[in-house]
Structure 1
Amino acid sequence: MEASPIVSHLSGKSRFDDIYEQPDPRPYFRRLAPLQYEIPHHAQPVFRRSVEECRARSTGRRDVTVLDICCSYGINAALLNHDLTLADLYTHYTSPAATRLTAAELIHSDKEFYAAHRRDDAVAVVGLDVSAPAIKYAVAVGLLDDAYAENLERRPPSTALRRAASRVGLLTLTGGGSYITERTFGAVLACTQSPAQVAAFVLRGIPYDRIAAVLASHGLHTAVDHSRTYPQRLFTGPEEQRMALADVVRAGLDPSGREASGRYHAVLYESRPASEETAEAG
Structure 2
Amino acid sequence: MGGLGSGGATHGKSRFDDVYIQPDPRAYFTRLAPLDYEIPHHAQPVFRRLAAERAAHGDGRPGGPVVLDLCCSYGINAALLNHEVTLAELYERYMSDTARRMTSAQLAAWDREFYAERRRPDALPVYGLDIAAPAVRYAREAGLLEAGFTDDLERVPPGPALRGALAEVGLITLTGGGSYITERTFAALLDGVRRPVWVSAFVLRTVSYEPVVRTLAAHGLHTTVDGSRTYPQRRFTDERERQHAIEAVRALGGDPSGREEEGRYHSVLYTSRPGPAR
Q: Give your verdict on TM over 0.5.
A: yes
SS in 2 for 1:33: helix
TM-superposed deviation, 1:205: 1.2
Determine the C-alpha separation between the residues in 1 that align with 2:173 and 2:227: 19
The answer to whether the Cα contact below 8 Å between 1:70 and 1:173 also exists between their aligned partners in 2 is yes
Determine the C-alpha separation between the residues in 2 that align with 1:48 and 1:108: 26
TM-superposed deviation, 1:228: 1.1
Give the letter aligned to residue 224 of structure 1.
V
Determine the C-alpha separation between the residues in 1 that align with 2:82 and 2:186: 23
TM-superposed deviation, 1:10: 6.1
Q: Which residue of 2 aligns with 1:164?
A: 165
The answer to whether the Cα contact below 8 Å between 1:73 and 1:135 also exists between their aligned partners in 2 is yes
The answer to whether the Cα contact below 8 Å between 2:183 and 2:211 also exists between their aligned partners in 1 is yes
Segments of 5+ residues of structure 2 without an aligned counterpart are: none
Q: Which residue of 2 aligns with 1:246?
A: 247
Q: What is the percentage of aligned positions where both structures have the same residue?
A: 58
Q: Deviations over 1:3-32 (max 9, x none)?
A: 3229x9963101101000000000000000
Q: Deviations over 1:78-117 (max 9, x none)?
A: 0000000000100100001000101111111111111111
The answer to whether the Cα contact below 8 Å between 1:128 and 1:147 also exists between their aligned partners in 2 is yes
TM-superposed deviation, 1:59: 6.2
SS in 1 for 2:13: coil
**Where do 1:192-207 residues align within 5 Å?**
192-207=193-208
Q: Deviations over 1:170-215 (max 9, x none)?
A: 0000000010000001101111112100000000011011100110
**Where do 1:204-243 residues align within 5 Å?**
204-243=205-244
- Within the alignment, does 1:31 sit opposite 2:12 as a pair? no
Q: Deviations over 1:243-271 (max 9, x none)?
A: 00000000100001100110000000100
CA RMSD of aligned residues (A): 1.5
Determine the C-alpha separation between the residues in 2 that align with 1:73 and 1:164: 19
The answer to whether the Cα contact below 8 Å between 1:111 and 1:142 also exists between their aligned partners in 2 is yes
Give the letter aligned to residue 84 of structure 2.
D
- Within the alignment, does 1:93 sit opposite 2:94 as a pair? yes
**Where do 1:38-49 residues align within 5 Å?**
38-49=38-49
Q: Deviations over 1:136-163 (max 9, x none)?
A: 0000110000000110000000011011
Give the letter aligned to residue 271 of structure 2.
E
TM-score by length of 1: 0.95
Runs of 4+ more than 3 Å apart? none
Give the letter aligned to residue 17 of structure 1.
D
The answer to whether the Cα contact below 8 Å between 2:3 and 2:135 also exists between their aligned partners in 1 is no
Q: How many residues align?
A: 276
